Amino acid sequence: DGINSQKDSVKVEEARRKMFTTLQQSVHKAYVKTVETITPALSSSKFQEGVLTPDEFVQAGDLLTYKCPTWSWEAGDSAKAASYLPKDKQFLMTRNVPCYQRLKALEDGINSQKDSVKVEEARRKMFTTLQQSVHKAYVKTVETITPALSSSKFQEGVLTPDEFVQAGDLLTYKCPTWSWEAGDSAKAASYLPKDKQFLMTRNVPCYQRLKALEDGINSQKAQVFQEDGEDWIAPGSYGPTDDKIIDASGPSTDIKNTSSTTTTSTQGDDDDDDDGDIPDAETFDQDNLVDEDSATLSKKEEEVDNVLLTRTYDISITYDKYYQTPRVWLFGYDEKRQPLKPEQLFQDISEDHAHKTVTIDSHPHLGIPCAYIHPCRHASVMKKLIERQRAAMEEREKATDTSSLSQKEKETKQKEREDKFHSEQVERYMFLFLKFIAAVIPTIEYDYTMDMDM
């Protein structure tokens, strides 16, 4: 009744939590007391596991009382003495320890701390930065003394440098918005061709912040793929379309060499103006419209179009020798072509990845600060996706009649299929990789014009 009479829901929840905690502690206390009664004290040392025998406890206490005279051994009530400890060394005690302020005062910032949340966040970031610096130094050392991967381990989700180049060649061929770059020759990796150090695509549009997408501010709906009871958001599918669920288990389609979403097509449709595709002015903030730009707007009022200024990104892909996978780098520009600050850039990163798997570092070839997606999980994810591709291939092969073939012919055919699968999937690796990266940067509409089973 007392709980129900509390009007504040926060207090009600707090009271319930305390009641549950008290009950939990009481049960645990009774359990511990029972175990202590029937179980003998530890006799053999297990110090490496972080525990002590009674003798080790006394030994440690002796040194504490010797080094810190404010601490002393106490006997306590002889009727409650533990048989496995000396009668005069039942427990340690220190008295009159000062406490100059309440914890609440410290948390509220009375002691010069204005915001405990910001302080904790600063500590977390400092620890993360330190952790990353140590790991970075370790990785750099390992990369220096370890040769690049030479034999293929594609089925494990990783690539050799040669396979990375092979996959990049198909990407640049099918998607002309991507190109190979040489970068600074002084920073060139010896295990890659000098003119194929990394992949780059520039001026990739990012029409909205991720928060806007999540909140549905623009009321646009994403295309969803469904497989094994799980929904996958189709990368780059955001648009004013109806909700659509597509079965991802269907057969794969051929490669389509279509124009990129990141560029303006100039072939065949220059004269096809569709007024229905022109954005309505009311759907955009005034800050995102070009109001008085003679270079882009007609002088005649009736011919004025809405010109949407948007963020753009330069995206590059390098080969990570340590993790043996591609590594994605992002450098963003605001609507006025000014470089984005880190806090602005993280607005376009999935909240689950920002400041965790996505951090800021100097680009290995360009030498400028970029955000990069940490590749520590790339191999495991790619392995899973490749296994799905293989399962789809095997399912299709089951429909093939091989009853007329001899066992040797079947083995030869199987070997040919395996070789073909390996060759094709190595080439298509980058497309599959970019589809998976879209989960981290879903609103950055880079080009990967190939349909594949996921």
CA-to-CA distance for 54 and 60, rounded, in angstroms?
10
Q: How long a stretch of residues is the chain?
A: 454
In sequence order, what are the beta bridge partners of 274? none
3-state secondary structure of 69: coil
CA angle at residue 170 from 415 to 172, to 5 degrees?
170
C-alpha of 105 from chain center: 37
Torsion of CA 148, 149, 150, 151, to 10 degrees: 170
Positive or negative torsion for Cα 87, 90, 96, 97: positive
Of 68, 206, 370, 376, the catalytic one is 376
Residue closest to 233 by CA, chosen among 437, 447, 450: 437
**Integer Cα distance of 99 and 119 in angstroms:** 22
Query: Does the active-site annotation cover 376?
Result: yes
What would the two tokens of residue 167 be? 């996959």
SS3 category, 323: coil
The tokens for 13 are 């929840």
Give dist(CA 427, CA 452) in Å, integer: 13
Closest CA to 319 of 170, 175, 450, 433: 433
**Residue from 222, 443, 276, 450 nearest 348 by CA:** 443
Query: How far apart are the C-alpha atoms of 360 and 370, rounded to whole Å?
Result: 6
Please identify every residue annotated as catalytic. 376
